[in-house]
Amino acid sequence: MYSRRLILLAHSQGAHTNLSTLPVLDLDVFNELHVVLGGDSDRVRSVYAKFLDSAVQRLEELKHQPREAGARTLHALKGSAGMVGASRLAACLEEALADSETAAAVIGDIERELTLFRGVLNVQLDVTPGP
């Protein structure tokens, strides 16, 4: 829920959100997911692995899609990013949605945010105790 508020806040601030003010990984969302999954670190890792695999696939699709289909892909990826606490990635996707003319041009930015998220997530997964 907290992550959704950050995304809405980013959206209300306009298309030029300062990404550096948002967390790469919303720890409230991460911790909530960990609790919901019974503290099972393997299940948490699985959820995030599925998100990361899907995000990479959607970015590949985006490279070859016309603008309208690309907007749907960006929107779906933004929603998934918000659900797993990838706040900066979600805000970056929101910016791309706000200006669909430049969506293809910001794929590199989105990929960099995804890489950053993956790194921060891996650190958090490594320090989170298992069952």
Sketch the domain layout of the chain as residue ranges: 2-10+22-127
Using CA atoms of 114, 116, 119, 122 in order, give the dihedral in degrees to the nearest 10.
-50
Q: Which of 19-33, 60-74, 81-95 has the lowest mean pLDDT?
A: 60-74
The pTM for the full model equals: 0.82
Q: What is the residue-averaged pLDDT of the chain?
A: 85
Q: What is the pLDDT of residue 131?
A: 65
Read off the pLDDT band of 95 (50, 70, 90).
confident
What is the pLDDT at residue 129? 80
For residue 31, give Cα distances in angstroms to 1, 27, 49, 124.
12, 6, 16, 10
